[in-house]
Amino acid sequence: MSSTAQKTQNIQQSHLTTQNLSSNDTTALPVKHHQIVIVGGGAAGITVAAQLLKRDRALDVAIIEPSDKHYYQPGWTLVGGGIAPISKFIRDEKAVIPKGATWIQNRVTKLEPDRNIVITQEGEIEYDYLVVCPGIQIDWHLIKGLKEALGKNGVTSNYSKDYAPYTWETIKNFKGGNAIFTHPATPIKCGGAPQKVMYLADDIFKSNKVDATVMFCTAGASMFSVPEYSASLDKVVARRQIVTKFKHNLKEIKADTQEAIFAVTTDSGTEEVSLHYDMIHVAPPMSAPDFIKHSPLAGAGGWVDVDKETLQHTRYANVFALGDASSLPTSKTAAAARKQAPVAVHNLLALIRSKPLSAKYDGYTCCPLITGYNSAIMAEFAYGGKLAPSFPLDPTQERYSMYLAKARVLPWLYWNRMLKGKGFEADILKPINKLVRR
């Protein structure tokens, strides 16, 4: 066999299955090169792809995403609280891939930006420009005994689609005792989620007249990173008589004795504390995916090292990143990704056209903090914890309208506007907000 024939055979044997949604069929083809490669087909990746193709249909955009399902992850709190079934927040990945984009259903194993190469489990993909947004990695293994305990005997977590339904089963069938809700020391996606489910659980316990001691055990020193919102949440936990334990970082679950072991930071150092639980909702530690941590793209903490305003990589000019895996110093939420996407798109197209990168991201993020079955605080803020409300209302107050927005409006906007590449609705209200705040 000639060397050419051997090379052809090798390519055929290691082909990548790709799907071009413009023709709606699946074809086995060797993939060599794409103009723009997006790593991750979640909220950030799909939004960026949709906006790129809205701006220029001639672009060659490929999305690398291994999952055949797409999840609206903010909805898992609603599942854990019995508000909606998990099926409401799942779509086929094929259905959300923008028309004209190529879907490469594969898993990335390595990034080689010096060669402009993404390596997947089945081969190499070359790019001219790279957008990195694979989401965050959940490190269940960093809490000893957690993986073995999850999903039974009152140990649960809304941070997995597999256990969010069990959270609701646990809450509604709770017979009393200690109900612990944890928050880890690492950055996590949707930083308010660990306490949202706690307030819903407390409502159910009270409705069922269950004798429960509800505890919020957080590795942090306050209820929330932004002082104005933290002060409001202090009032919520005080009103509900929830026990708060700050600087408590969960390290181990002892399922046989129903003990949660915490590393507690004190003025004199760190000490180990054991708390009995009758149910425990765990927010696990999280990090950038390993293939990012071990790549040249990683900066401090293993996150993709990008400029916090332009979203361009600090060392590789043809690389951009957004979403949970980026180094952007703001809360990791779908709302943040939605505001980051147009900045990444504008600046990437500017780079392609040899123009200045003029779009700037201000750190906007939003965490709809459910504080009960009829109330929520729409915690919107930007870099430095600066309040950035979309509505001409005091954003630190609990409101029924904001609960309705979280439970009903935001899921619809996600599927029907965000993933379609459409603009941020609240931008329409900016002129009104400016007038009100004069």
Q: Tell me whether residue 367 is one of the annotated catalytic residues.
A: yes
In three state form, how does the secondary structure of the chain look?
Answer: CCHHHHHHHHHHHCCEEEEECCCCEEEEECCCEEEEEEECCCHHHHHHHHHHHHHCCCCCEEEECCCCEEECHHHHHHHHCCCCCHHHHEEEHHHHCCCCCEEECCCEEEEECCCCEEEECCEEEEEEEEEECCCCEECHHHCECHHHHCCECCEECCCCCCCHHHHHHHHHCCCCEEEEEEECCCCCECCCHHHHHHHHHHHHHHHCCCCEEEEEEECCCCCCCCHHHHHHHHHHHHHHCCEEECCEEEEEEECCCCEEEEEEEECCEEEEEEEECCEEECCCCEECCHHHHCCCCECHHHCECECCCCCEECCCCCEEECCCCECCCCCECHHHHHHHHHHHHHHHHHHHCCCCCCCCCCCCEEEEEEEECCEEEEEEECHHHCECCCCCCCCCCCEHHHHHHHHHHHHHHHHHHHCCCCCCHHHHHHHHHHHHCC
Q: Decide if 133 is catalytic.
A: no
**Catalytic residue from among 133, 217, 366, 367:** 367
The catalytic residues are: 190, 367
